[in-house]
Amino acid sequence: MNAAFDWRAEAARISFRDQAYIGGQFVDAVSGETFDRVSPVDGAVLARVAACDKQDVDRAVTAARAAFEKGIWADQSPKNRKRVLIRLAELIQKHANELALLETLDMGKPIANARNGDLRAVAECVRWYGEAIDKLYDEIAPTPKNALALVTREPLGVVGAVVPWNFPLLMAAWKFAPALAAGNSVVLKPAEQSPLSALRVAELAAEAGVPPGVFNVVPGMGETAGQALGRHMDVDALAFTGSTEVGKLFLKYSAESNMKIVSLECGGKTPNIVFADTPDLDAAAKGAADGIFYNSGQVCDAASRLLVEDKIHDVFLSKVAALAKNYQPSDPLDEKTQMGAMVDATQTKRVLSYIAKGQEEGATLALGGGQVRKETGGFYIEPTIFDHVENRMTIAREEIFGPVLSTITFKTADEAVKLANDSKYGLEANLWTNDLTKAHRIARSLRVGTVTINNRDGGGIEVPFGGYKQSGFGRDKSLHALDKYTQLKTTYISLG
């Protein structure tokens, strides 16, 4: 990123795509309705975006189905789809500053994170699935000599994707990149808090050569556009990322409509377990602070429960508190900012109510806890640390989705595992210890989709990501994601 780049000046110049993208064209909602995109950076209205409802979703699904039936994408050779997706990845890289700015203005994350974190990962994701798709072979099953059994992967048809606002394009790319690579048509509903970057990427996809109707974007509310996609009779699969509560609704929508395949990437309450024998306590403290304050804690696998061995409680917590100072909320458009805004007023209120609840239930507020920068018109919360938390307390059980750390102490490894697993969620766990045997033993006992040991990095696009328990099912990232967007067909041939 160019240090001299003037993001504020660029923000004043930038234009927004505010219509739905259906059948290769930007169109208004049939109803003519729009909704205001209020920036959490300063409370300004950025754009009035098409508020799609059932009729628009129906148009998008019809366009997606027609494109699929015509075979203009699905029947292209994998090599051709690869070329187009790699071109799209290059266009995303070329326009990374603009896309990053759209995300920062839309949902308040620091521009450096958007540009160097999200946008790099989005381009990598699209490129990775493009690169992968012409290197996958199907199977021949073992049969008697007089038969041949082919097991082939086929695209499903129309895939609906409903995604959240915390990593707007990245969560979308984790769905649309493998779905498109496999030959499906896609109807994407971005979160109402962050539709702007997805609408711009739809345009870039067309420029890259994705045919009209293959990639559609329908901005709108969850209860209208999201529900219409979930209940549509001609959507073959629905890939969702968001809260557990809404994830459950998609199972209901499927059951009450056409039994479409549903995959769910939902909430989390990651335990970050720190043992006294941790080789590098400073690295562990940095992991703990980054783990809860990055993206203002609006991260599904945020390390929101710090489980620390009682022997090192005081020293460790003072290290984390010192690092928390780097996360004082500041202007998201300043490249030095490490923590920006909360996504909106609703989320801010929700997080503040959890902070109040933590105090009511007897936890000790050790750092922060307040709303700041109110004079900007935006929404900002200080890095907040609770100590003396018990796992039964609300702040240890519910997903806060804000910069709020709950600290719990333990004495033994068994106790740590018990605490870690005592949650309805099972997305991720982090573990810090010098004892490899202990680490492996604990990793096996943790009922989560990802365990990180002596780091907070769960790996890039090459490893699967997803949850156990009420964190959902199905996996994003890696070749395993393709399982969500393909069917297996058996063709059994008699050879006489």
Closest to ligand NAD by CB, 180 vs 300, is: 300
Kindly tell me which residue out of 165, 294, 316, 432 binds ligand NAD, with binding defined by CB under 6 A.
165
Catalytic option among 124, 266, 300, 428: 300
Q: Does 222 bind ligand NAD (CB under 6 A)?
A: yes
Catalytic option among 103, 124, 192, 265: 265
Note if 265 is an active site residue. yes
Segment 413 to 432, residues that bind ligand NAD, using CB under 6 A: 427
3-class secondary structure, 455: coil
How many residues of this chain bind ligand NAD (CB under 6 A)? 30
Q: Does 163 bind ligand NAD (CB under 6 A)?
A: yes
135-144 contact pairs (CB < 8 A, 24+)? 136/78, 136/479, 136/482, 141/490, 143/492
Q: Does 65 bind ligand NAD (CB under 6 A)?
A: no
Q: Does 57 bind ligand NAD (CB under 6 A)?
A: no
Kindly tell me which residue out of 88, 122, 191, 199 binds ligand NAD, with binding defined by CB under 6 A.
191
Segment 264 to 293, residues that bind ligand NAD, using CB under 6 A: 265-268
Cα distance between residue 357 and residue 351, in whole Å: 10
Closest to ligand NAD by CB, 19 vs 330, is: 19
Note if 300 is an active site residue. yes
- The per-residue DSSP string of 420-488 comes to HH-SSEESEEEEE-S-HHHHHHHHHH--SSEEEESSS----TTS-B--EETTEES-BSTGGGGGGGEEE
Kind and range of the H or E element at 62? Answer: helix 54-70
Residue positions counted in the chain: 496
90 burial type by CB count under 10 A (0-12 exposed, 13-18 middle, 19+ buried): middle
Q: Does 402 bind ligand NAD (CB under 6 A)?
A: no
Pairing, β 158-162 against β 147-155 = unpaired
412 burial type by CB count under 10 A (0-12 exposed, 13-18 middle, 19+ buried): exposed
Segment 228 to 247, residues that bind ligand NAD, using CB under 6 A: 230, 241-243, 246
Closest to ligand NAD by CB, 74 vs 159, is: 159
Shortest distance (Å) from residue 248 CB to ligand NAD: 10
Closest to ligand NAD by CB, 29 vs 91, is: 29
Shortest distance (Å) from residue 76 CB to ligand NAD: 29
Task: Record the tokens describing residue 179, joined without a space.
Answer: 């779905």
Buried b (16+ CB within 10 A) or exposed e, 201-231: bbbbbbebbbbbbbbbbbbbbbebbbbbbbb
Q: Does 162 bind ligand NAD (CB under 6 A)?
A: yes
Q: Does 403 bind ligand NAD (CB under 6 A)?
A: no
Kindly tell me which residue out of 164, 369, 378, 383 binds ligand NAD, with binding defined by CB under 6 A.
164
Closest to ligand NAD by CB, 178 vs 226, is: 226
Q: Does 256 bind ligand NAD (CB under 6 A)?
A: no
183: Cβ contacts below 8 Å, ≥ 6 apart = 73, 74, 75, 76, 81, 154, 155
3-class secondary structure, 240: strand
Of 101-109, 259-267, 305-313, 380-388, the window that binds ligand NAD (rule: CB under 6 A) is 259-267
DSSP letter at 41? T
DSSP letter at 222? I
Residues with a known catalytic role: 265, 300
Binding site for ligand NAD (CB under 6 A): 162-166, 171, 189, 191-192, 222-223, 226-227, 230, 241-243, 246, 249, 265-268, 300, 399, 401, 427, 467, 471-472
